[in-house]
């Protein structure tokens, strides 16, 4: 199956981890009934590695903000825009940057517990 969107790709990966769990459970049942456990143990290890790789991929996507596609990808666009803005700001003279921000920001409120910020900007005419 070929994913046509990122959200579909994430669903495919998530469903695949469920199928891996199902196969792993089957291998565990077979392990209880065999006299030769080595091949089954190798297969269980392979399944665990495959599942771990998928979970790592999903975690990286989540860390990058790609797993929440609600709102038409606004979160992704906002994150990219803020990243580009941060790169631009890093190249500016810091004193000039602070003066510029002071002239534009009326009030800034940060809540480290909820990780919510509120920025009230000054409206300048002319």
Assess if residue 55 is contained within a domain.
yes
pLDDT of res. 3: 58
Owner of token pair 């456990």: 37
Residues 45 and 88 grouped into a single domain: no
Write out the residue range of the structural domain in which residue 110 sits: 74-121
Average pLDDT, the chain: 76
How far is the C-alpha of 113 from the C-alpha of 109, rounded, in Å?
12
How far is the C-alpha of 43 from the C-alpha of 117, rounded, in Å?
49
* 33-53 confidence digits (pLDDT tens): 989 999 999 999 999 989 888
pLDDT of res. 81: 65
How far is the C-alpha of 64 from the C-alpha of 53, rounded, in Å?
17
pLDDT of res. 14: 86
116 Cβ contact partners less than 8 Å away, ≥ 6 residues apart: 110
pLDDT of res. 126: 44
Residues 88 and 112 grouped into a single domain: yes
Assess if residue 117 is contained within a domain.
yes
Residues 98 and 57 grouped into a single domain: no
Predicted model pTM: 0.50
Percentages helix, strand, coil for the chain (3-state, rounded to 5) are: 65, 10, 25
- What is the number of structural domains in the chain? 2
Assess if residue 97 is contained within a domain.
yes
* 52-110 confidence digits (pLDDT tens): 888 888 887 777 666 555 555 556 666 666 676 677 666 777 777 777 777 777 777 77
Does 84 or 8 have the greater pLDDT score?
A: 8
Residues 88 and 44 grouped into a single domain: no
pLDDT of res. 11: 81
């Amino acid at each position: 199956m070929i994913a046509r969107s990122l959200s579909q790709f994430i669903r495919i990966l998530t469903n695949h981890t469920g199928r891996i769990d199902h196969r792993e459970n089957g291998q565990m049942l077979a392990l209880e009934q065999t006299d030769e456990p080595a091949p089954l143990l190798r297969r269980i290890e392979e399944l665990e590695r495959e599942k771990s790789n998928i979970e790592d991929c999903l975690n990286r996507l989540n860390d990058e903000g790609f797993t929440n596609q609600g709102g038409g990808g606004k979160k992704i666009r906002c994150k990219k825009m803020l990243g580009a803005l941060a790169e631009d700001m890093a190249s500016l003279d810091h004193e000039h940057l602070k003066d510029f921000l002071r002239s534009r920001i009326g009030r800034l409120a940060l809540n480290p517990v909820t990780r919510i910020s509120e920025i009230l900007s000054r409206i300048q005419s002319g």
